[in-house]
Amino acid sequence: MPASAAELMAQVAKLTLQAADLLAEGRVAEAEEVDRRAAALRRRAMRTAREEGAAGAATAAYAPAQSDRDMVVEGLTELDAISSPRLISDFVLARYGRHVNARLFSSLRRDERDAWQRWTQGRGGSRLTFVVPALEGTFFTTSRGLVALSMWPLARRIVGPRTGRVELLRAARSVLSALAWMRERDTAAAVPMERLASSLARTVPGAMEGWRVGAIEDVTRAVEWELRELEQADRDWREVAAARALTQLTEEEQVLGSAGPHVVRRASGGIA
Amino acid sequence: MAQFEEQLDAAMAALRGQMRSSGRSVRAVAKWSNNQRCATNNAMFVARVDDDRLLQRTSLAPEFGQSPFALARGARVEQIGRANQYAVTVSLLREHFGYGIPEVVALDLRHGFQPNNIGMAQRARATERALQAAIRDERDAPNIIDGAVLRAQIGGFLAHLEADGVGAKTGPVFHVNEYKGWPVVDGRAHDAAKLGATVAQMGIYRYLLADTIDRLGGDPDTVAGTGLLITPRNVGLTLVGNPIRLAGATRLAEHTLANLPHPRDFIGSLPEGLDFGAVARGDHEGSRLDALERITNRLGTRYQESCMGNCGLAKFCRARARASGSTSLVGESVARFMPGVVSLPRAAALADGATPAEGEVVTGAASVLAAAGRLYREKLSGGSLPPIAAVGGGRAS
């Protein structure tokens, strides 16, 4: 009997913890492999969840509606990349036909911060993951307009000089993968996803011929090619930063970001 | 030194009167440079008078200014250029300047700084740090400096000027990027005047960028002779890159910045109780225009065709030029054929055969006008031809 979505997600959580342990021991290559397996499993879990949802459509009227927050988590899980609210909103609309206002994110981030603090203080909460700000990689302050999931390893939540482009390419790859799946099942529903894919892939050299996304394999190949060129240097930078963050930041700061450097003044008013 | 600057500042505030000062910007420099020999224009520039607002609520108020739709379109173009971690800009830089795949490091200086002089000074320092990193060929030096701020001495004061973007390709090779909301249709700028103004603006940025790099110990020749103008294509919002040669515009910028009027030349230029604030305030149009008349009589004006699109006083100066029959009314290219001729009625009289004065003969204007008159009469020969003065050549109202 195939595993349920919840079981698969539990396995993902175990793998993520395993990856974190490996990173702490400095076994980066192994951690990376485990993280890849976790990502694949996560995608499978979400696919299974959707199929289970479709099978149980008769009882859908009694199931609680998914909140905007859940949609954001699902969107980020599928995109598998640090993203801007606008990109998540566009993806959720194309993927689930659900409109999530990008302006929701500032209040969502506040709610998530409060929920995380409640959870760590043992005051309740059952969330598996939190929507958290990506961390700027020099002083680990919150990165403006970029969000991630707390279950991702710290290095994946840090933004380095080339991370913007790398994460965009990762998101493009996920969108293309969703597009391939949607094209097979429902051509009409795939149109918004195709529009999103073309807006992301248009700036990748050799990805597009004209205005439309042609063969998905060709576009994905072009995206992968640019990603390969950038990913290693970006990963190295972020891992060095993550190692520094682990030694310098509290657990809360590792998730929600630090206050950043500030001028310290002596009582007399002079700068210390 | 600081005390002298404070004194200058106070003198300029007195000249400006009770008016909000306008900012020191590249746009203001480009606007001023359209008519550098007009003393009123120079005075308004050094005193930072917002001439677009000076004659508001009068019959001579200017009708130009950007429409809200054009402003919204410009903002949208910039938004597209910066979306998805500058994806479109990166793509255009790769296409037109050969940026390599790893050259995608962007530095956003538009956010995280206070919108005031302190913030601008911090942004200028951040810009210089980024440029220095590129000069030293540091590994993660920014390739796109969005909202770079460059320092310049404008009108005797240190100003911080904000460029749309500075590109820094490994090498290093620097260049200026500029976003504009007006379209390029079939490969040609929709409005030649706007293109001209943009090129002038980019020339100033290029000059200041080279100056900054020189100050930082880099080689000013690393600034590319070409800048990238990013505009929408046709009527849509697909952005295209237009490489623009900036050598001429940079020379012009150097000349312009070297010849900016200095506030010290305008200290005490208006009598006590007379300032630009007197023109801007009050409900009685007559008294406001009277104040302006006294200011322009005192300082002097030099109306020319290009004032119509650049100066808030253009209609006022055009009315003055009409009243005096000034040759500037027919445009620079025509007026250039009439050196030494004091007015349009005099030009008409010379064409109709009046005896020229010595000044009109030595410049050759008299013979040109006499020949023009002859041709006019020959063309319409048959006896029904009225004299030029009678068909409007001498109209001065």
pLDDT in tens, B212-230: 999 999 999 999 999 999 9
Six-digit token string for B229 = 């103008």
CA dihedral (B139, B140, B144, B150) in degrees, to 10, reads -90
Tell me: the pLDDT tens digits for B70-99? 888 889 999 999 988 899 999 999 999 999
Output the pLDDT for position B352: 87
DSSP bridge pairs for A131: A149
B77: phi then psi, degrees, rounded to nearest 5: -60, -45
> For residue A199, which residues of chain B lie inside 8 Å, CB to CB?
84
- Contact criterion met (CB < 8 Å) for A202 and B105: no
Q: Which of A170-184, B240-254, B332-346 has the lowest mean pLDDT?
A: B332-346
- Smallest Cβ distance to B106: which of A164, A200, A237? A164
Output the pLDDT for position B174: 94
B364/A contact by beta carbon, under 8 A: no
- Contact criterion met (CB < 8 Å) for B108 and A144: yes
Q: Scanning the structure block, which residue is given the tokens 């929701």?
A: A104
Separation between Cα atoms, residue B258 and residue A38, nearest integer Å: 63
Instruction: Identify the band that residue B389 occupies on the pLDDT scale cut at 50, 70 and 90.
Output: low
- Contact criterion met (CB < 8 Å) for A203 and B91: yes
- The sign of the torsion formed by the CA atoms of B42, B46, B47, B48 equals positive
Range B106-120 average pLDDT: 90
Range B369-397 average pLDDT: 69
Six-digit token string for A139 = 């002083």
B226: phi then psi, degrees, rounded to nearest 5: -120, 140
Mean of the per-residue pLDDT values of chain B:
87
CB B150 within 8 A of CB B212: yes
Distances (CA, A) of A67 to A70, A72, A100, A112, A146: 5, 9, 10, 14, 21
CB B322 within 8 A of CB B60: no
Stronger pLDDT, B7 or A254, i.e. the higher one: A254
Nearest CA in chain A to B98: A205
A266: phi then psi, degrees, rounded to nearest 5: -75, 165
CA neighbours closer than 13 Å in the CB half-sphere of residue B351: 25
Output the pLDDT for position B397: 38
CB A85 within 8 A of CB A147: yes
Output the pLDDT for position A57: 46
Q: Distance (Å) from the C-alpha of residue B106 to the closest C-alpha of chain A?
A: 7
Q: Distance (Å) from the C-alpha of residue A222 to the closest C-alpha of chain B?
A: 12
**In chain A, how long is the greatest CA-to-CA distance?**
72
DSSP bridge pairs for B161: B150
- Contact criterion met (CB < 8 Å) for A87 and B94: no
Distances (CA, A) of A29 to A33, A34, A39, A236: 6, 9, 15, 11
CB B231 within 8 A of CB B77: yes
Separation between Cα atoms, residue B165 and residue B109, nearest integer Å: 10
Six-digit token string for A6 = 């919840």
Q: Distance (Å) from the C-alpha of residue A154 to the closest C-alpha of chain B?
A: 21
Tell me: the pLDDT tens digits for B353-374? 888 888 888 888 888 899 988 8
Chosen for mutation from B101, B113, B230, B240 (greatest number of chain A CBs closer than 10 Å) is B101
Nearest CA in chain B to A204: B91
Output the pLDDT for position A92: 94
Output the pLDDT for position B67: 73
Q: Distance (Å) from the C-alpha of residue B190 to the closest C-alpha of chain A?
A: 24
- 3-state SS assignment for residue B310: coil
Per-residue pLDDT of chain A (272 residues; tens, 9 = 90+): 467 788 888 888 888 888 888 888 888 888 888 888 888 888 888 888 877 665 544 444 444 567 888 999 999 999 999 999 999 999 999 999 889 888 888 888 889 888 888 888 877 777 778 999 999 998 999 998 899 999 999 999 999 999 999 999 999 999 999 999 898 888 888 899 999 999 999 889 888 877 777 788 999 999 999 999 999 999 999 999 999 999 999 988 998 988 876 656 555 544 44
- Contact criterion met (CB < 8 Å) for B102 and A162: yes
- Contact criterion met (CB < 8 Å) for B86 and A84: no
End-to-end CA distance of chain B: 50
Q: Scanning the structure block, which residue is given the tokens 């030293």?
A: B136
Nearest CA in chain A to B84: A168
- 3-state SS assignment for residue B42: helix
DSSP bridge pairs for B185: B188
Six-digit token string for B255 = 């000349």
| Residue B165: how many other CB atoms lie within 10 Å | 27
> What percentage of chain B has pLDDT greater than the value 70?
94
Separation between Cα atoms, residue B264 and residue B11, nearest integer Å: 9
> For residue B86, which residues of chain A lie inside 8 Å, CB to CB?
164
Stronger pLDDT, B332 or A257, i.e. the higher one: A257
- Smallest Cβ distance to A165: which of B104, B108, B111? B104
- The sign of the torsion formed by the CA atoms of B291, B296, B298, B299 equals positive
Six-digit token string for B16 = 């400006």
- The sign of the torsion formed by the CA atoms of A153, A158, A160, A164 equals positive
Give which of A228, A77, A146 is closest to B108, Cα–Cα.
Answer: A146
The model's pTM is: 0.74
Q: Distance (Å) from the C-alpha of residue A8 to the closest C-alpha of chain B?
A: 32
| ∠ CA B264-B265-B269, rounded to 5° | 105
Range B317-328 average pLDDT: 88
Output the pLDDT for position B64: 63
- The sign of the torsion formed by the CA atoms of B377, B382, B387, B392 equals negative
Contacts 24+ apart (CB under 8 A), B239-242: B239/B77, B239/B80, B239/B81, B239/B88, B239/B92, B240/B92, B240/B184, B241/B92, B241/B93, B241/B95, B241/B96, B242/B184
Q: Which of A120-124, B142-146, B390-394 has the lowest mean pLDDT?
A: B390-394
Chain A residues touching chain B at CB-CB below 8 Å: 84, 86-87, 144, 160-162, 164-165, 167-168, 199-200, 202-203, 205, 226, 229-230, 233, 237
Range B17-22 average pLDDT: 82
- Smallest Cβ distance to B104: which of A87, A199, A230? A230
Residues 6+ apart with CB under 8 A from A30: A22
B84/A contact by beta carbon, under 8 A: yes
Instruction: Identify the band that residue B251 occupies on the pLDDT scale cut at 50, 70 and 90.
Output: very high
Nearest CA in chain B to A87: B84
CB A35 within 8 A of CB A16: yes
> For residue B90, which residues of chain A lie inside 8 Å, CB to CB?
165, 203
> For residue B140, which residues of chain A lie inside 8 Å, CB to CB?
160-162, 237
Q: Report the helix count and the strand count for chain B, using DSSP H and E.
A: 15, 10
- Smallest Cβ distance to A165: which of B88, B90, B112? B90
Q: Distance (Å) from the C-alpha of residue A32 to the closest C-alpha of chain B?
A: 22
Chosen for mutation from B76, B85, B89, B97 (greatest number of chain A CBs closer than 10 Å) is B85
Is it the case that residue B292 has pLDDT exceeding 70? Answer: yes
CB B207 within 8 A of CB B250: yes
CB B134 within 8 A of CB B141: yes
